[in-house]
Amino acid sequence: MAAAVAHPLDQAALAALGRACGIPLAAYRPAHVQACVGRMLTRCGVPTVPELIRLCQRDALARAALLRCLLVATTGLFRDPEQFALLEREILPSLTGGPRGVRVWSAGCSDGTELYSVALILGRLGVLPRCQLLGTDILAERVDRARRGGPETRAARRAAAAVLCWQRRDLVREPPPPGRFDLVLCRNVLIYLDTSVRSAVQRKLAGALRRGGVLLLGRSEWLADPGLLGLVPAGPHAYRKPDANREDAPCGLA
């Protein structure tokens, strides 16, 4: 259990801590930030938030630890198997018709295993060489880890090397990547965002879809009113942008 914060995490402290670690903490759910700060106070052995701020200002390791705590990364190959079953059985086959292949964006890709999982499915469907796969994450260290891959992703990395691209991108403060995507995965990211920020990010994700494209969220995430974003339900936690006539768009993955 996280330790109680020994000093009020008011707006001034929130802003100062955000400046110290380089991300806008007001964008995240207050309860999540409070819990992370409590854990960091215990882990770093400091009794108050002002002392934690000063520590993060001068100590890169403390800043990195706070960022890892705030930007939760729980992932793995085919994590939430029922969602990948839906992708393989219904969603990806519906997107693979024609010579163009499929453009996929994994937003908040963490160590890349989600996108490597998609690559393995596309390989089984026989369309991987025609696809373009982009993974983005706010933390450069995670992007580097995704690019290198790990033992569990070696086969997917070899098979998909020519179609994979990785970028550091802040989903909250930056626009989506250029072009439009057939599939956007943003799983277990929105649950950590504050309500207004979550709505803005949902609009970005929906806007990044081609007509006919699909947005897949995590098992604890959903759109309260997908119609407001021009989407319709396409399965559990999955939403499609209607219109089967999908326009071509510039790649923008360089």
pLDDT in tens, 157-182: 999 999 999 999 999 999 999 999 99
The alpha carbon of residue 229 and the mean position of all alpha carbons in its chain are separated, in whole angstroms, by: 19
How many angstroms separate the Cα of 223 from the Cα of each of 129, 138, 205?
A: 32, 23, 12
pLDDT at 212 (0 to 100) = 94
Strand partners for 133: 104, 164
Greater model confidence, 28 or 253: 28
| pLDDT-derived band at 8, boundaries 50, 70, 90 | low
CB 4 within 8 A of CB 40: no
Rg value, the chain, Cα: 19
What is residue 91's DSSP assignment? I
> What are the domain boundaries of the chain?
11-70, 81-240
Superfamily of domain 81-240: Vaccinia Virus protein VP39 (3.40.50.150)
List, for residues 55-110, the tens digit of each pLDDT value.
999 999 999 999 988 988 778 899 999 999 999 999 999 998 666 789 999 999 99
pLDDT at 7 (0 to 100) = 53
Q: Percent of the chain having pLDDT more than 90?
A: 76
The residue whose two tokens read 């071509």 is: 248
List, for residues 223-250, the tens digit of each pLDDT value.
999 999 999 999 999 999 997 554 434 3
Specify the pTM: 0.88
> CA 238 to CA 221: how far, in whole Å?
10
The residue whose two tokens read 């994700």 is: 205
Name the residue among 148, 140, 146, 69 with its Cα closest to residue 106: 146
> CA 106 to CA 71: how far, in whole Å?
16
The residue whose two tokens read 């993974």 is: 135
Longest dimension (CA), the chain: 60
